[in-house]
Structure 1
């Protein structure tokens, strides 16, 4: 429902996710990944089903925790576990099937309680999977952008989402700014008139 209609059903108590539901989710995310893969025209990437299900659980549980917090403090790390797999382009894009919605959950949590300990936990996941956090201010201080964006498909998708979300902070990192400017060429103003062209050679971190 969230992916098709941008809405989610929340329950009045935390629901256990059965192995059968996990298997069904794996099949679903594999299909969704294939649909999106057709758009970015790469036959080198396959869905990392385990990562896709992990990300879906993170999103589902964080949305549930927006409503239900009674007796959840001790269990929060089980509900929002850290990523244990290998972070590569396939896992980043597989996780993004769900994690792209996580910033909206964080904003909702922040509106209720800015001191909520769940917020930094979720933000730390988005720092690791920051493609899903484009448009949300994460303060990405330790990213080596040349290394991060070396894959051509991922680089193209990353730049496109920066432009889509009009993320000025990322777009004005010199390395990224140079890539975006080169991508736009003489048509830059048609895509993003307000974006500055960064020419000075300064720290590329944000």
Structure 2
């Protein structure tokens, strides 16, 4: 399955198939994937609160490639740490609100991928690499009990991202992500008088 078809199946069906061998993505394949991601973005922003960040094709394509390769590596566990480092390259451009949202179109499936990797040893280099990526992209990784290490200030400064982030924290009851004052305040505001319904055990210390 090529990259654009992979993204289409991931979004529409939640099921994916990847090639059993590592291959380079052709320029046409990458261009086709950007078209699919743009369509995905256009549909997704309809559910975003307020004004969603603009489409960042570079971040979206990077994340699509990252998730594809991560699935391949989960299947091909004979590949070692060198291949993981080579195939799962970090994002190397400045991170903005648009970057976070663009990457999230595919990185939001990272928690599912980590869940599928539970059969691997916690010390497996692929698991450790995915966990590190989850720390670096907190908007896409709520609910997996992994602390955020960067990007929170950008999320907080964008009302659309912040509200979506808060909604995800509440949905996954991710107490650990409430250790930043603006995030905690937004969580409390969203819960309002319905904390006992939306998050019955919501008991957090004041920051």
Q: For this structure pair, what is the TM-score category when the shorter chain's length is used for normalisation?
A: 0.7 to 0.9
Greater mean deviation of Cα atoms: 188-197 or 78-87: 188-197
The equivalences for 1:170-189 within 5 A come to 170-171=177-178, 174-189=181-196
- Report the equivalent of 2:109: 101
Aligned to 1:82: 90
Q: Which residue of 1 aligns with 2:166?
A: 159
| CA–CA separation in structure 1 for the residues paired with 2:115 and 2:50 | 33
The yes-or-no answer on 1:36 pairing with 2:39 is no
TM-score for the superposition, normalised by structure 1 = 0.85
- Cα RMSD after superposing both structures: 2.2
Q: In structure 2, the residue corresponding to 1:139 is in which secondary structure?
A: coil
Structure 1: tracts of 5 or more residues without a match: 202-206
Match of 2:142 in 1: 134
Check conservation: 2:138, 2:150, Cα contact below 8 A: no
Does residue 196 in structure 1 map to residue 187 in structure 2?
Answer: no
Number of aligned residues: 199
Give CA deviations for 1:121-168 in whole Å, capped at 9, x if unaligned.
Answer: 22222222111110112223x558566412111111110111122212
The verdict on how the C-alpha distance between 1:181 and 1:117 changes in structure 2, with shifts beyond 3 A counting, is same
Give the structure 1 partner of residue 22 of structure 2: 14
Give 1:65 deviation, angstroms.
0.6
TM-superposed CA distance for 1:63, in Å, is 0.6
Mapped contact 2:59–2:99 kept (Cα < 8 A): yes
Query: Is 1:47–2:55 an aligned residue pair?
Result: yes
Which runs of 5 or more structure 2 residues have no equivalent in the other structure? Answer: 1-8
Any idea what the Cα deviations from partners look like across 1:87-130, whole Å, max 9, x if unmatched?
Answer: 11111111111111112222333412222112222222222211
Aligned with 1:198: secondary structure? coil
Distance 1:120 1:150, change over 3 A: same
Contact kept? 1:103, 1:136, Cα under 8 Å: yes
Q: Distance in 2 between matches of 1:169 and 1:71?
A: 33
Aligned counterpart, 1:204: none
Asked whether the 8 Å contact 1:109–1:116 carries over to 2, the reply is no
Q: 2:194 aligns to what SS in structure 1?
A: helix
